[in-house]
């Protein structure tokens, strides 16, 4: 895994709790990425290293610099550190871009209608994808359905508006819990994005043939939009989703209890207490082990480890990723099932 050091050239406020961090693209070895991918920032805060992925809000070929857009999470360690402590000129360590929430040229034709569904900070990868699709004239039509609490919390409000004036094939629908449809706001939906609204938007946009959907936002949004689209006959392979965080079902933890786990790193054995509810990764990080990780949703495989002994349960990813060998597990989603579990990391 390649790491880079990037210089911050600008910090730009987008809304009261969201800001864009602009990094200078290195002059010689430019960082290659695809619209919809993410950059993992590694920051040292109070003596501990934290890794957090942030989707690019910039798009390659459109924006000359690398941009991420961060929403401050109440009580969040890294998002608030970025907002309160980082400044122009600071150097930040990052991992190479990762992620598969991208436009796949094999599934796009000149008739493709791209429909992007988002809420809150979920707009970031969608905005990157929209810019790239419009700039490269990918597909026939691009539609954004974007949910927010109020008009003030809409990230990229003016930029989305500007894109609509430049590209006649781009439409956007906004959903605000506090606004109603009116003659001056014909594309504003009242309330949260829900299946009924999905249906009304799709009917207003024409038929569903050739649609390709990208969803990024809270689990509730993802599930309701996906369910509605599948019920309308959209094929599951035409729906791509990105998760910013994982929501685990408490029932999955019923047979799990606090246990000691041995983590082998660089040939050295560390005995770590894994308290019920914490993953082996979280417990290892709490014990100040320098473990590599990024997404914590079971997607990037950066936290891959070999299960040397014992049994773990992976909670989170619906399927064990194909890229994992039979004796491998993801520490961010692994919970010990027996005593004397031993895992080895690179
Ligand atoms: C692939 C990927 C891409 C991402 N892209 C972006 C992005 O473009 N912009 C962005 O702002 N964030 C993005 N995130 C989320 C980001 O990585 C962090 O999880 C988020 O900033 C919170 O980190 P923190 O250290 O501030 O909070 P933590 O200290 O880790 O958590 C504090 C509390 O907030 C909750 N929490 C954690 N993440 C979220 C969240 N996303 N929303 C609401 N509550 C949360 C936790 O459950 C915990 O209770 C992305 C995540 C992934 C996996
Ligand atoms: S940190 Fe990404 S899969 Fe575990």
Ligand with an atom nearest the CA of residue 299:
2
Q: What is the pLDDT of residues 123-137, one digit of tens each?
A: 999 999 999 999 999
pTM of the model: 0.94
What is the C-alpha separation between 319 and 12, in angstroms, rounded? 39
In the predicted model, residues of the chain with pLDDT beneath 70 are 177-192, 194-195, 197, 205, 318-319
pLDDT for position 307: 97
Query: Which one of 17, 52, 302 would you pick to mutate in the ligand 1 pocket, going by the greatest count of ligand atoms within 8 A of its CB?
Result: 52
Given a contact cutoff of 8 angstroms between Cβ atoms, the answer to whether 49 and 42 are in contact is yes
Domains of the chain (ranges; CATH) run: 3-98 (2.40.30.10), 105-242 (3.40.50.80), 250-345 (3.10.20.30)
Q: Is 296 in the pocket of ligand 2 (CB under 6 A)?
A: yes
Task: Report whether residue 295 contacts ligand 2, using a CB cutoff of 6 Å.
Answer: yes
- Structure confidence at residue 103 (pLDDT): 95
CA 212 to chain centre: 18
Ligand 1 site, CB within 6 A? 38, 52-55, 68-71, 73, 75-80, 99, 121, 124, 242, 244-245, 295, 297
Q: How many CA atoms lie within 13 A of 326 on its CB side?
A: 0
- Are 341 and 309 spatial neighbours (Cβ–Cβ below 8 Å)? yes
Ligand nearest to the CA of 334: 2
- Which residue owns the Cα nearest ligand 1 atom 26? 76
Residue 5 has a pLDDT of: 96
CA of 169 to the centre of ligand 2 (A): 37
- Could you tell me the distance, in angstroms and rounded to a whole number, from the CA of residue 331 to the centre of ligand 1? 18
Looking from the CA of 234 toward its CB, the CA atoms found within 13 Å total 25
Q: Which atom of ligand 2 has the smallest separation from the CA of 295?
A: 2
Q: For the chain, what is the mean pLDDT?
A: 91
Beta bridge partners of 145: 117, 173
Task: Name every residue whose Cβ is closer than 8 Å to that of residue 39 and which is 6 or more positions away in sequence.
Answer: 23, 33, 53, 54, 55, 56, 66, 68, 94, 95, 97
Residue 301 near ligand 2, beta carbon < 6 Å = yes
Which is the closest atom of ligand 1 to the Cα of 78?
Answer: 25
Per-residue pLDDT, 190: 60
Q: Of the bound ligands, which one is closest to the alpha carbon of residue 123?
A: 1
> Ligand 2 centre and the CA of 293: distance in Å?
5
**How does pLDDT run across 164-177, given as a tens digit for each residue?**
999 999 999 887 76
What backbone phi and psi angles, to 5 degrees, belong to 112? -65, 135
């Amino acid at each position: 895994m390649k790491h880079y050091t990037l210089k911050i050239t600008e910090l730009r406020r987008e809304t009261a709790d969201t800001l864009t961090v602009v990094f200078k693209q290195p002059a010689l070895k430019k960082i290659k990425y695809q619209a919809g991918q993410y950059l993992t920032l590694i920051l040292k805060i109070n003596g501990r290293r934290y890794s957090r992925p942030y989707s690019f809000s910039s798009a390659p070929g459109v924006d000359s610099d690398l941009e991420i857009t961060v929403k401050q999470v109440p009580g969040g360690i890294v998002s608030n550190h970025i907002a309160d402590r980082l400044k122009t000129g600071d150097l930040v360590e990052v991992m190479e871009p990762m992620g598969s929430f991208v436009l796949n040229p094999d599934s796009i034709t000149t008739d493709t209608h791209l429909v992007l569904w988002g809420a809150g900070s979920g707009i970031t990868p969608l905005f990157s994808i929209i810019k790239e699709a419009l700039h490269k004239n990918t597909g026939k039509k691009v539609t954004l359905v974007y949910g927010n609490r109020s008009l003030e919390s809409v990230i990229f409000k003016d930029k989305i508006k500007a894109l609509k004036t430049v590209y006649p094939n781009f439409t956007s629908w906004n959903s605000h819990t506090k606004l109603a449809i009116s003659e001056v706001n014909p594309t504003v939906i009242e309330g949260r994005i829900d299946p009924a609204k999905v249906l009304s938007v799709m009917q207003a946009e024409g038929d569903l043939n050739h649609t390709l959907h990208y969803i990024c936002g809270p689990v509730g949004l993802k599930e309701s939009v996906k369910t509605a689209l599948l019920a309308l006959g959209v094929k599951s392979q035409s729906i791509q989703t990105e998760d910013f965080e994982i929501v685990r079902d408490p029932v999955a933890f019923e047979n799990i209890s606090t246990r000691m786990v041995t983590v082998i790193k660089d040939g050295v054995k560390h005995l770590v207490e894994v308290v019920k509810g914490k993953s082996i990764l979280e417990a290892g990080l709490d014990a100040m082990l320098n473990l590599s990780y990024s997404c914590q949703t079971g997607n990037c495989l950066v936290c891959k480890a070999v299960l040397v002994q014992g049994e773990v349960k992976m909670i989170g990813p619906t399927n064990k990723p194909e890229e994992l060998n039979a004796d491998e597990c993801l520490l961010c989603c692994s919970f010990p099932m027996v005593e004397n579990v031993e895992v080895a990391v690179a």
